[in-house]
A and B are shown apart, each in its own frame.
Chain A
Amino acid sequence: MSKSSPATQDGYLRIEHVTKRFMGVTAVENANISIARGEFFSLLGPSGCGKTTLLRMIAGFEFPTEGAIYMDGQDMSAVPANKRPSNMVFQSYAIFPHLNVHDNIAYGLRRLRLSRREVNRRVEEALAMIHLPGLGKRRADQLSGGQRQRIALARALVNRPKVLLLDEPLGALDKKLRESMQLELRELQRSVGITFVFVTHDQEEALSMSDRIAVMFKGKVLQVASPRALYEAPNCREVADFIGSINFFEATVRGQEGGDVILEAAGLGTVRANLPAEHGFISPGARVIAAIRPEKILLLADGNGQPGQSAVGVIGAHAYLGDRDHLQVALSGRKEPVAVAAQQIERALTARFDSGQKVTLGWDKAAMLVLPG
């Protein structure tokens, strides 16, 4: 079920050992990413983790302190922004305020010395693509946020770049518009087949749109993987924590048995888990972290728990959320309660579980993740 990330195909856009330091601040540290042609790739991470800095280095607005960036096999180190085969959609959209919509979109076409008719044709085509036909004469200050966003997109795509860079392009839109733009953007990317590098700090946005995601944290790229792999098989505590919600348990390795690893976890006792794909950190006595997502914990009838894959606790808070129930279950030997998300299927069961009642928790051993401590 939890396979590691797919092979990094041809590496159309390669970021190799890239470090960027600003006067003492290390904004990006030894980033290594290889992005395939036509891929929808996201840079995801909390505020200040270096996403924009990395994107600006790809665009050519900043140059790496160390390392190099390759596009289509060509080293970009000495190539200025205006000579790169990439275009950018800025966070602020950067629509030229002194030009109308048509002139904004046609801005990058001047160098191509096309006939006026050809320019008009391409601009109209771009306006149709973003579903804003006939808007060419509109002044830049007469546009809504959503329209500005689309025009910034059209202005970049009309140049037919090899790589499109987008810095939180949906951040300024309201929730509803953002959700419809997510779908539209994904559709657009599929139809034009251009490589997208998309920056966001919204994990749901990244999961729903991307082919692959690089999770960044304090300047470091922690994991590069498909959305499914990031969620199902995070490689460290930070990634597991940033994507979705999860319960962590301090644990000590007892040993290995078959393909499994046996842990002693605070609050759970002896636990059996699958050996993680990269398991260099597992040796008897090593401190590790066991982790499990709330929806992977099942509520069992008393006595149904399997050894190594169950625990007994007492129900604390209980919240009804319509499609699911959230429970806080206290375990002995652990301060924090364990979060459990019970789906509708178990409703009949949860109805019987009120606060203060004893309950048995169970899980599949594949759901128990083992992360470096």
Chain B
Amino acid sequence: MMATPRRIQSPKTARPSIGLMIFAIAYLVFLYLPVLFLPVFSLNDSAFIKFPLEGFTTRWYDEALSDQNMIAALMNSLKVGAISAVSATFLGLLAAKAVTRYRMRGAGTAMGVIMLPLFIPEIVLGISMVLLFDAVDLPLSLVTVTIGHIMLTVPFAMAVLIARMDGFDKSLEEASLDLGESAWMTFWRVTFPLVLPGIVSSLLLTFIVSFDEFLIAFFLGGTDMTLPVYIWSQLRFPAKLPSVLAMGALILVASCVLVVLAEWLRRRGVSDEAKKGAIGI
């Protein structure tokens, strides 16, 4: 019999062990099965959330979309999300430009302070902002929620935009200046087109973070409700549950589409050498 030489497998082609596979599958099921209940029960023809399923219906969707309060809350969330996303992305862009293009004293400290909201528990953030707005006599409303959300989302915007700004050769901007353009025209003709994919993905990401956010919206909203706060308030009424599920399912689908779009855009615009870095949060 001939001895076959042993193949040395590279780590990439090596198969994972069976145990690891089972663990991975169990993990994914645990993570996503509850999420799958949402669309399943939103289409179930029963007011009660339990198996067995009763039959197919779209009436919960009709009910959700005709609930004026729910629609008002959705509109609030869209408004807050849009304003937060645009503001956070604009501030993030300025900060990213400063951090990546200028040598400044205290840049590291400033970065740390701006990134801090990512690491402070939201409940602490929420309560301290309630105190702050109370101290300056600003009534709690969608305005205060928006301010809170901007604080919360600027770090996300910065992370995306800094990665993008670092991803292209700084001498491109110098070349534009050298060819006679002002700093402002250089921004419009070179920097902006090159960071545009980053701007779009930052807008999407910060919008989703704001749209999903509950605690700050709850603390700072006063009598104004965003969609998560409204949904939470409706959980006390079992009859409302299926229509909440329907709305939840719609949002789930919309969020998935947005996230995929954001990631696709981010990758599309990034040159090959910079592709390796993920969003960087």
B159-197 residues at the A interface, CB under 8 angstroms: 168-169, 171-172, 174-183, 189-190, 193-194
Query: Which of B169, B176, B180 is within 8 Å of A159, CB to CB?
Result: B180
Q: How far is the CA of A321 from the CA of B189 in the complex (A)?
A: 55
A92 to B273, CA, bound (A): 14
Q: By the criterion CB–CB under 8 Å, are A88 and B181 in contact?
A: no
A224 vs B194: C-alpha distance when bound (angstroms) = 42
Q: Does chain A have a CB within 8 A of B271?
A: yes
A-B contact pairs, 25 of them (CB 8 A): A59-B174, A80-B177, A81-B174, A81-B178, A82-B177, A82-B180, A82-B181, A83-B180, A87-B178, A88-B174, A88-B175, A90-B175, A92-B169, A94-B169, A94-B171, A94-B175, A96-B175, A96-B190, A97-B168, A97-B172, A107-B179, A108-B179, A111-B181, A155-B175, A155-B179
**Which A residues have a C-beta under 8 Å from some C-beta of B?**
59-61, 80-83, 86-88, 90-92, 94, 96-98, 107-108, 110-111, 155-156, 159
Chain A nearest CB, measured from B268 CB (Å): 12
Residues of B with C-beta under 8 A to A61 = 174, 177-178
- Are A111 and B175 in contact, CB atoms less than 8 angstroms apart? no
Contacting pair B178 A59 (CB below 8 A): yes
Whether A98 contacts B179 by the Cβ 8 Å rule is no
Known A-B contacts A97-B194, A97-B271; the reply to A108 vs B172 at CB < 8 A is no
**Closest residue of B by beta carbon distance from A87:** B178
Known: A88-B175, A90-B174, A90-B175. A98 touches B181 (CB 8 A): no
Interface residues of B: mostly helix, strand, loop or mixed? helix
Given the known inter-chain contacts A96-B190, A97-B271, please indicate yes or no for A82 contacting B174, CB distance below 8 A. no
A61–B171 CA distance with the chains assembled, in angstroms: 10
Q: How far is the CB of B90 from chain A (nearest CB, A)?
A: 21
Q: What does DSSP make chain A's interface, helix, strand, loop or mixed?
A: mixed
Bound: A156/B174 CA distance, A: 13
Complex Cα–Cα for A96 and B194 (A): 9
As a 0/1 sequence over residues 239 to 280 of chain B, the CB contacts with chain A under 8 angstroms (1 = contact) are: 000000000000000000000000000000001000000000
Contact A96 B174 (CB under 8 A): no
Q: Which residues of A contact B176 (CB under 8 A)?
A: 96, 107
Quote the shortest CB–CB distance from B167 to chain A (angstroms).
11
- From the candidates A86, A94, A97, A108, name the one contacting B174 in the complex (CB within 8 A): A94
Question: Which residues of chain B from 180 to 238 have any CB-CB distance to chain A below 8 Å in the complex?
Answer: 180-183, 189-190, 193-194
B33 to chain A: closest CB distance in Å? 44
Query: Distance (Å) between the CB of A297 and the closest chain B CB?
Result: 46
A88/B271 in contact, CB under 8 A = no
**Interchain CA distance A92-B173 in the complex, whole Å:** 12
Min C-beta distance of B102 to chain A, whole Å: 13
Contacts of A86 in B (CB 8 A): 178
Complex Cα gap A86–B175 (Å) = 12
When A97-B194, A97-B271, A98-B194 are in contact, do A92 and B171 touch as well, CB less than 8 Å?
yes
A126 to chain B, nearest CB (A): 13
Q: Which 9 A-B pairs have the closest CB atoms?
A: A108-B179, A94-B175, A94-B171, A81-B177, A90-B171, A82-B177, A98-B193, A88-B178, A94-B172
Quick one: which of B21-45 are within 8 Å of A by CB?
none
Set of chain B residues within 8 Å of A108, measured between Cβ atoms: 179-181
Of B172, B180, B194, B271, the contact of A111 (CB 8 Å cutoff): B180
Considering only residues 112-169 of chain B, those with a C-beta below 8 Å from chain A are 168-169
User: Which residue on A lies nearest to B192, using beta carbons?
Assistant: A98
Q: Which residues of A contact B183 (CB under 8 A)?
A: 82
With both beta carbons as reference points, the residue of chain A lying nearest to B174 in the complex is identified as A61
B178's contact among A82, A91, A96, A110, by CB below 8 Å, is which? A82
User: In the assembled complex, how far is the CB of residue B273 from the closest CB belonging to chain A, in whole angstroms?
Assistant: 12
In whole angstroms, what is the CA distance A315 to B188 when docked? 69
8 other A-B residue contacts (CB within 8 Å) besides A82-B178, A98-B194: A80-B177, A92-B171, A97-B271, A107-B181, A107-B189, A110-B181, A111-B181, A155-B179
User: In the assembled complex, which residues on chain B have CB atoms less than 8 Å from the CB atom of A98?
Assistant: 193-194
Docked Cα-Cα span, A83 to B180, in Å, equals: 6
Cβ of A208 to closest chain B Cβ, rounded Å: 27
Report the bound CA distance from A90 to B177 in whole Å: 13
